[in-house]
Amino acid sequence: MSEDRYLTFALGKGRLASKTMELFEKIGITCDEMKDKDSRKLIFVNEELKLKFFLAKGPDVPTYVEYGAADIGVVGKDTIMEENRRVYEVLDLGYGKCRMCVCGPESAKELLKHHEMIRVASKYPNIAKDYFYNKKHQTVDIIKLNGSVELGPIVQLADVIVDIVETGSTLRENGLEVLEEICPLSARMIVNQVSMQMEPDRIRRLIQELRQHL
């Protein structure tokens, strides 16, 4: 397909988008307009390179990519696992490194050993379900929360949580700890399945160039 068509990127808003643009700059992909931190604009265009970037809420990035509203997305592995969309995951970008873990008070360790029915609070109910049901074969009650998940065990809403741990300070400051590690996480690049077939050269070239700078 000709390079006249815009290649469209959906980026997870915030630090992830800034890190991504820093990396893209290294391969000559720039978008100065995006650097204005006070701007509320959501779509940016690089006319010269025929690229479009839009800023979306992280969990929506795989949705835009699956439906082809974006050819390419950059989002955390946690979101990719939780949303489970039909997209190709093509590149580990290496930044945004953290871990998905089961956390709780030290006293909850025992509850993870004997297939007991426990309550698990999480912003990631699908990841929690997959881990407890399919990997640990433990039937649990999963409670979806939208943030500040560490509150769960403290106010006795849940026995443990499934959440992201980066520095570990949120856990420490709330008297909780990592009980089990589910998997490592980082930012990934995802691609729409049709776009990959329609523009294999352009997308592969991009992946190769990025890989050289990681």
Amino acid at the residue 177: E
Q: How far apart are CA 22 and CA 140, in angstroms?
A: 42
Shorter beta-carbon distance to ligand PRP: residue 80 or 165: 165
In whole angstroms, the minimum distance from the beta carbon of 68 to ligand PRP comes to 29
Shorter beta-carbon distance to ligand PRP: residue 51 or 149: 149
Kindly tell me the burial class for residue 124, based on how many C-beta atoms sit within 10 Å of its own C-beta (0-12, 13-18, 19 or more).
Answer: buried
Helix, strand or coil, per DSSP, at residue 126: helix
- The residue number whose beta carbon is nearest to ligand PRP equals 147
Q: What are phi and psi of 166, to 5 degrees?
A: -110, -75
In whole angstroms, the minimum distance from the beta carbon of 150 to ligand PRP comes to 6
In whole angstroms, the minimum distance from the beta carbon of 171 to ligand PRP comes to 6
In whole angstroms, the minimum distance from the beta carbon of 124 to ligand PRP comes to 9
Shorter beta-carbon distance to ligand PRP: residue 69 or 157: 157
Q: How far apart are CA 32 and CA 30, in angstroms?
A: 6
- Decide: 106 and 98 in contact? Cβ < 8 Å: no
Shorter beta-carbon distance to ligand PRP: residue 183 or 194: 183
Kindly tell me the burial class for residue 186, based on how many C-beta atoms sit within 10 Å of its own C-beta (0-12, 13-18, 19 or more).
Answer: middle
Shorter beta-carbon distance to ligand PRP: residue 71 or 78: 78
In whole angstroms, the minimum distance from the beta carbon of 20 to ligand PRP comes to 18
- Report the interface residues with ligand PRP, using CB under 6 A: 123, 147-150, 163-170
